[in-house]
Structures are given as structure tokens and as C-alpha cells.
Amino acid sequence: MEKIIGIGNALVDILVRLEDETLLEQMQLPKGGMTLIDEARQKRLRACMEGLKVEQATGGSAGNAMLALARLGGKAGFVGKVGRDALGKFYADNCKAVGIDARLLQCGLPTGVANTFITPDGERTFGTCLGAAATLQASDITPELFEGVSMAHIEGYLVQNHELMEAICQTAMEMSVQLSLDLASYNVVAADLPFFRHLVQDYIDVVFANEEEAAAFTGQRDPLEALRAIAAYKCLAVVKLGSKGSSARLGDEEVFVEARKVPVVDTTAAGDFFAGGFLYALDKGASLKDCLNLGTLLAGYIIGVVGTRLPEEEWKSLTLTLSKERGFK
């Protein structure tokens, strides 16, 4: 198995469970979305969080996907930027502990944080202060980053830096590395739609989207029509349907898998773990249905805990289940 790398924002998740949506309304954070905030707004947000129970975990969409892939036994890497601070060390130490080959660049800004607010329905809303992560730039992308790599999984949040995204895509293409893109957030897609479509048209091999992101990208509210519209770009299209399941299409092949019936505690990283499982299976040469099944399996486990710290006993249970799944032995 060749290495799959994630490229994205190296963030530390600050996880907070809310009793209602008052704080989201107060800070003007659209429920279920990701909003970028500056240092001043971050300070106001942290003041509003005083007295609330806070948990800390490594985060970032691409980083979460690589965490899942690494815990499955895959060869995972990650490229991002952190600060020379305690949170940066926390991020690096966690990558090492789980077997991710992290190539973390550093700068003088603080390590980025994703303030993650979990409402009683399990939905998560992000107020993200990128800090050092925002300084990842085109000049940081070199051919050496793609040596021994079969695929690079990019989070859509990076699309706001057009020069960086072009550098990633062009360098990967020169190194014969396939590209996977997670559309990341419906409001991010809507704000930069022409560039998203350019990337998928000209570079991307695999596209991950949830229903809202797929609708924002295609203009199709029906998930099946949106799936087909994405696949028309001659890529492998994957649309996640939450509790209704997931679907994938490549060429004329189209498959659907139902979601697993599990209690929802926190949807943080559900889509990321889904992508990690899907890419692991895809790299193993599994069928589209088996890829969806593995993504669904991982997503079902991670929504049962807060954040991305799946207990060791849960990983053992997942590995046992995985050993019984056709195509993943």
C-alpha cells in the first residue's frame, strides 16, 4: 500500500457541548457550517465559553481523515503548518502516536484552533481561527512532499487560497499522484463556486460531499441528481446522506449503502472518518460498495463519541468487525 497524504489546516479542536443554540446566535455562527474568525473574535468567543466544559483533540478535516486511515493500518501522511507553541507540539505528538507521517511546517503565529460547538441534536458548528495554518502557501508545496504517494486528500477549506490550491494540484499531477477533494462546507462552496468547479473539472479524481455541499456545487437539491452531476465531471463522486446512507458513482456504475443505526452523540469528523475509510478501501482495490461500507462503518463509530478520540476498545471492536468484511482482510 502506497502512502495517502492529507493536505489541510492543522488545527486543534476545542470541543464544547451546548445546551441550546444561544451562543451560536450570539456569535453569529451558522449552525452546521464553518465560519472563519480573526484573533479579536476568537477572544470574544473564548470569553463566552468561560465556565463551559472544554475538551481538546487534534482536528482539521484532512487530518481527521488521515487519523482514521492510519488507525485502520494504512500508510498515512499529513502536510500542514503549526505554531511553535504547546498546541503545535500537541498536534505533532498525536500524529506520531497514531502513526501519521506528519510534515508540519512552523511559523511564529499560534497554532490554529477549531472551536467546535455541539448542540443537543449532535450537530457541530465551527468557529475557526486558522492562525499558523493560514500561512501554508504555494511556495511550501514541493515535489518531495509527493514522493511515494499514491493519492493526496485535500480539504475544501484550502480553496480560499487559489494560488496554494493550484500549486498542490499541479505538483501532484506532475508527480502522477491522484487527488481527492472534500468539499468541506456548503457555505465555503457557495462563496467560491467557479473555482471549485475549475478544480474538479481540471484536476480532481475523487470528490466527497454531503447533501448540502453537493447541492451548493451542482445546484441540484435532489441528492441523486447532484451525485450524477458531480460524476459528470469524470471523477468518482461520493455523496454522504447522513442517517439515510451514502452513494457513489463512477462512470456508469452507481451504488448506494444504508447508514448504520447508531446513537448520535457528536457528528464531528463523521464525514472525515467516512473519507478515511473509503480511501483506505479504495487503495486496497475494493468495490465501490465495499468502499461505502467501510466509510459508513467508521462514521458510525465516531458519531458515538465526542470529538475524534475513539477509545481503544472501540478501535478493537471496529478492527474485529473489519476482519469479517469482505475485501478488507
Provide φ and ψ at 78, rounded to 5°.
-150, 140
Mean predicted confidence (pLDDT) in 294-306: 88
Mean predicted confidence (pLDDT) in 296-315: 84
Q: Give the domain CATH number at 293.
A: 3.40.1190.20
How much of the chain is helix, strand and coil, in % rounded to 5? 45, 25, 30
Domain assignment present for residue 88? The answer is yes
- Domain tally for the chain? 1
Task: Examine the pLDDT at 34 and tell me if it is beyond 90.
Answer: no
Banded model confidence at residue 204, pLDDT cuts 50, 70, 90 = very high
Rounded distance between C-alpha atoms, residue 25 and residue 249, angstroms: 38
Mean predicted confidence (pLDDT) in 261-272: 82
Q: What pLDDT, on a 0 to 100 scale, did the predictor assign at position 279?
A: 97
Domain assignment present for residue 121? The answer is no
Determine the residue type at 191. Answer: A
Mean predicted confidence (pLDDT) in 19-33: 91
Domain assignment present for residue 117? The answer is no
For the chain, give the mean pLDDT. 92
Q: What pLDDT, on a 0 to 100 scale, did the predictor assign at position 56?
A: 86
pTM score, whole prediction: 0.89
Q: What pLDDT, on a 0 to 100 scale, did the predictor assign at position 261?
A: 83
Name residue, grid cell 471496529.
318
Mean predicted confidence (pLDDT) in 266-283: 91
Higher-pLDDT residue of 6, 304: 6
Domain assignment present for residue 273? The answer is yes
Q: What pLDDT, on a 0 to 100 scale, did the predictor assign at position 122?
A: 82
Least confident of 139-153, 172-186, 312-326: 312-326
Q: What pLDDT, on a 0 to 100 scale, did the predictor assign at position 264?
A: 80
pLDDT in tens, 222-262: 999 999 999 999 999 999 998 899 999 999 999 999 988 88
DSSP annotation of 143 reads G
Q: What pLDDT, on a 0 to 100 scale, did the predictor assign at position 318?
A: 80
Task: Examine the pLDDT at 321 and tell me if it is beyond 60.
Answer: yes
Higher-pLDDT residue of 1, 53: 53
Banded model confidence at residue 304, pLDDT cuts 50, 70, 90 = confident
Task: Examine the pLDDT at 137 and tell me if it is beyond 60.
Answer: yes
pLDDT in tens, 44-91: 998 988 888 888 888 899 999 999 999 999 999 999 999 999 999 999
Nearest to 127 by CA among 39, 6, 19: 39
Where is 129: in which H helix or E strand? strand 124-129
List of residues 6+ apart from 104 with CB closer than 8 A: 10, 78, 79, 80, 81, 82, 88, 91, 92, 95
Task: Examine the pLDDT at 110 and tell me if it is beyond 90.
Answer: yes
Range of the domain at 249: 3-10+59-110+130-324
Mean predicted confidence (pLDDT) in 282-304: 92
Domain assignment present for residue 25? The answer is no
Rounded distance between C-alpha atoms, residue 112 and residue 159, angstroms: 17
Name residue, grid cell 505554531.
83
Task: Examine the pLDDT at 22 and tell me if it is beyond 80.
Answer: yes
Task: Examine the pLDDT at 327 and tell me if it is beyond 70.
Answer: no
Banded model confidence at residue 1, pLDDT cuts 50, 70, 90 = low
Domain assignment present for residue 19? The answer is no
Domain assignment present for residue 144? The answer is yes
Q: What pLDDT, on a 0 to 100 scale, did the predictor assign at position 193?
A: 97
Domain assignment present for residue 64? The answer is yes
